[in-house]
Amino acid sequence: MPQATPASSEVSARRFSFPAIGRKKVSAAFDGGRLTSDGGVLLLAQAEREMRICAQLAGCIADPRAPSRVIHALDDILRARVLAICCGYEDADDLDALRDDPGFRLALGKLPGAGAGLASQPTMSRWENAPSTRELAHMMQVMIGIYCASYPKPPKAVTLDVDDTCDVVHGYQQLSFWNGHHGERCFLPIHVYDTATGRPVAMLLRTGKTPSGAEAAGHIRRLVRHIRRHWPETHITIRGDGHYGRPEVMAFCEAAGVDYVFGLPTNAALRADPVIVAAADACAVKRAEEGRVILRHYAETHYGAKSWKCQRRVAARIEASMLGMDIRYVVTSLAGGSAEHIYDTLYCARGQAENLIKMHKTQLASDRTSCRSANANQMRLILHTAAYWLMWRIRQTIPKAASLATAEFATLRLRLIKVAARVIETATRIRVAFASACPDASTFRAVAAGVRLAPT
């Protein structure tokens, strides 16, 4: 097993210079000894072992290797990949450079100076491509189970946001499709979040076209079924944009006792509804009389499209401005609450899901779905979702009064994960020495104390 070049070697100790400061010569060399630039990976490893994410995922995959010849356990392979993603190393290639990093070695329970290092890139790539479709479906069920287990007890009610996002492809991967709206050949993976708490629920790779009503209803039906296995009494509300306000989806929700709030595209019938027309006229007149730049009103009506089997409650946000009239609609199964509450408080809260998708997609690089196989790309989505869980767990442990308690993942990585440390190994102990001037030392200590290892 190849080892890193010793820090005292001639190549790494070659000195180079910087401009003098205060008449003192400044020189440098890579001879600092056993250092890691990712000291916070120990926090992530502690959070992962507490939640047992990688062990549960590894249990879904058949391992045909002979036990006597196994060097890297499957859960350790997945763990190394997930920890690397959290630290900003989103490609499997990066693992070749991290194989003997002392921080990652400690995170995987390996001594910093002895034994095999982390699994190599070819090993990572083989296991990314290994799971079958059935095994991936089992892993998705495990991810939903991890979501449910993240609550100490079943909540009375949860609101789940369903949305898709453009994931541009660069080639002819399986499921890639030209999308005229985005002007790209892409995937449109579905993301589901418990937006109020920032928890991820499920991520599903799918082709780059808008989901049909039957497809969306099928995904939501399976999601609700798996959640009900853990929480039979929890009330579920599904929230989404107009892509999911389809008759098949609404019919399923009504039959399953699930509430919904969906965007509803406008049409001639809605624009001609007498209740909406009267409210829009009143809003425009009042804006003009009061000389306002913009004015909002709300109205509600009951509407039934030809493809619907019944009429449903529709809330309208009416906005009159100097540029004209703008009316947006949502359809809901909720009987209570005003039209303003339904639109502004309930429906508009789904905008936070866009921020969660941004953290998953850009800050954890889950759009690196560059494999040709759809199964391998779905596996990557699962691994990046596991990384999301670890970052979420770290943030949950930060004291609420601290400035990082609501930070995005990129900020957490910069301030708590990418922290340099010296790893000192003696005959009886290992000591990790962080910088005395670390600006977030108190927060780091609080997280280390708050994330406890699960008993073994």
Average pLDDT, the chain: 92
Tens digit of pLDDT for each residue in 79-94?
999 999 999 999 998 9
Domain that holds residue 1: 1-31
Do residues 22 and 62 both lie within one domain? no
The answer for residues whose C-beta is within 8 angstroms of residue 41's C-beta and 6 or more apart is: 83, 86, 87, 103, 104, 106, 107, 417
- pLDDT over threshold 80, residue 42: yes
How far is residue 445 from each of residues 34, 103, 130, 294, 411, measured CA to CA in Å?
22, 17, 38, 50, 17
Tens digit of pLDDT for each residue in 408-440?
999 999 999 999 999 998 889 999 999 999 999
- Mean pLDDT of the region 261-283: 94
Distance of alpha carbon 347 from alpha carbon 263, whole angstroms: 8
Query: Is there a domain that residue 329 lies in?
Result: yes
Tens digit of pLDDT for each residue in 103-115?
999 999 999 878 7
The whole-model pTM stands at: 0.92
Do residues 387 and 427 both lie within one domain? yes
- Mean pLDDT of the region 129-140: 96
Do residues 165 and 250 both lie within one domain? yes
Do residues 224 and 303 both lie within one domain? no
Task: Count up the domains in the chain and report the number.
Answer: 4
Do residues 113 and 146 both lie within one domain? no
Do residues 299 and 249 both lie within one domain? no
Do residues 49 and 120 both lie within one domain? yes
Residue with tokens 């391992």: 63
Burial 137-176 (b: 16+ CB within 10 A, else e): eebbbbbbebbbebeeeeeeebbbbbbbbbbebeeebebb
Do residues 396 and 320 both lie within one domain? no
